[in-house]
């Protein structure tokens, strides 16, 4: 991963940020948003509050707590799927705990895994010593430090082969440096891989661009509203990252409210502490 301090164990590190002022999180703006929540009778420190804010255009965008405004959106995850992920995860699918543990131990054989609780799909950027994972009937989700990589095409082969004939997705983004990367494999073959940030430009660009990307590359979603502001890319990487979440998995961490999208908090993941004995190093 880029030098971001990612997977550093910061509590709540990937909780969603707002789109206010093109990702400007000045303290004064955050305080104003907290006041708006309080005026609406919502607790700005409550993770589950359905927060709202109004931007200059009058559009309504969502975030889930004041903390989300402060820390921004982060992910490092892979998903195995033999169906459309968003559809497969609707209706409170049952978490298969046995299959989850089996997948975890098979992919992380050198780690001693200790179950420490449950998380959910809204938090897929666990610290280095944790694995968040969930297996459902048609979808498996894993979040771990190994997936926050600058070059998604270099994902170690065991993580790809574990997907079998299913589609494998990698999604990783870090709000501190505005970096985003994703990849998609079908039947073990890499179809698309991209990694971009404003400071480093295009780190990797393999395969044909997917349809949801095209408006971004064509400049239809510029990173700044002011034509005089220079930005090294024709789009903001985190905004493309949100579009990828919606395209691949049917949910978003931030952005315009769309009640038809999957609520990631409703999808449980098991949290494992990762410990490695000296003889396993």
pLDDT for 174 beyond 60:
yes
Span 41-64, pLDDT tens digits: 555 444 433 333 333 333 344 454
Q: Would 140 be classed as within a structural domain? A: yes
Do residues 145 and 165 share a domain? Answer: yes
Residue 120 vs residues 4, 130, 266, 271: alpha-carbon distances, Å: 23, 14, 7, 9
Number of structural domains, the chain?
A: 2
Range of the domain at 37: 20-70
What pLDDT, on the 0 to 100 scale, is given for residue 170? Answer: 98
Q: Would 4 be classed as within a structural domain? A: no
Distance CA 20, CA 92 (A): 31
pLDDT for 33 beyond 80:
no
Alpha-helical (H) ranges within 66-138 are: 66-71, 85-88, 97-107
**Whether the predicted model's global pTM rises above the 0.75 cut:** yes
Q: For 5-15, what is the mean pLDDT?
A: 39
Q: For 197-221, what is the mean pLDDT?
A: 96
Do residues 177 and 44 share a domain? Answer: no
pLDDT for 108 beyond 90:
yes
Of the pLDDT bands very low, low, confident and very high (cuts 50, 70, 90), residue 15 is: very low
Do residues 63 and 88 share a domain? Answer: no
Q: Would 34 be classed as within a structural domain? A: yes
Q: For 61-89, what is the mean pLDDT?
A: 76
Do residues 43 and 85 share a domain? Answer: no
Q: For residue 87, give both structure tokens.
A: 């559809």
Distance CA 18, CA 63 (A): 6
16-48 exposure pattern, b = at least 16 Cβ within 10 A, e = fewer: bbbbbeebebeeeebeebbeebeeeebebeebe
Q: Could you identify the residue written with the tokens 């070059």?
A: 151
Q: For 202-209, what is the mean pLDDT?
A: 98
Do residues 39 and 169 share a domain? Answer: no
pLDDT for 66 beyond 50:
no
pLDDT for 6 beyond 60:
no
Do residues 108 and 47 share a domain? Answer: no
Do residues 107 and 246 share a domain? Answer: yes
Do residues 137 and 193 share a domain? Answer: yes
> Collapsing DSSP states into helix, strand and coil, what is residue 104?
helix
Q: Would 114 be classed as within a structural domain? A: yes
Contact 52, 61 (CB under 8 A): yes
Do residues 221 and 245 share a domain? Answer: yes
Say which residues have a Cβ less than 8 Å from residue 164's Cβ, sequence separation at least 6.
80
Span 214-259, pLDDT tens digits: 999 999 988 887 665 688 899 999 999 999 999 999 999 987 768 8
pLDDT for 11 beyond 70:
no
Which of 85, 248, 81 is closest to 165 using CA atoms? Answer: 81
Do residues 122 and 33 share a domain? Answer: no
Of the pLDDT bands very low, low, confident and very high (cuts 50, 70, 90), residue 73 is: confident
Do residues 65 and 85 share a domain? Answer: no
């Amino acid at each position: 991963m880029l030098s971001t301090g990612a997977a550093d164990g910061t509590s709540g590190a990937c909780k969603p940020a707002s789109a206010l002022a093109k990702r400007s999180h000045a303290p004064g703006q955050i305080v104003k948003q907290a006041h708006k929540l309080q005026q609406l009778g919502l607790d700005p420190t409550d993770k589950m509050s359905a927060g709202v804010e109004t931007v200059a255009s009058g559009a309504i965008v969502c975030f889930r707590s004041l903390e989300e405004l402060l820390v921004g959106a982060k992910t490092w995850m892979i998903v195995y799927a033999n169906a459309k992920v968003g559809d497969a995860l609707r209706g409170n699918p049952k978490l298969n705990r046995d299959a989850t543990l089996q997948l975890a131990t098979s992919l992380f054989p050198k780690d001693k895994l200790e179950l420490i609780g449950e998380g959910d799909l809204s938090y897929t950027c666990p610290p280095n010593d944790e694995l968040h994972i969930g297996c459902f009937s048609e979808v498996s989700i894993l979040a771990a430090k190994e997936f926050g990589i600058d070059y998604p095409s270099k994902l170690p082969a065991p993580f790809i082969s574990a997907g079998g004939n299913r589609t494998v997705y990698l999604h990783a983004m870090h709000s501190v440096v505005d970096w985003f990367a994703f990849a998609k494999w079908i039947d073990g073959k890499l179809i698309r891989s991209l990694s971009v940030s404003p400071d480093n430009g295009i780190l990797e660009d393999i395969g044909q661009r997917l349809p949801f990307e095209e408006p971004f590359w064509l400049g239809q979603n510029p990173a700044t509203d002011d034509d005089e502001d220079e930005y090294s890319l024709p789009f903001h990487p985190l905004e493309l990252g949100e579009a990828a979440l919606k395209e691949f998995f049917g949910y978003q961490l931030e952005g315009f409210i769309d009640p038809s999208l999957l609520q990631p908090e409703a999808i449980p993941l098991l949290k494992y502490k990762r410990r490695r004995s000296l003889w396993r190093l």
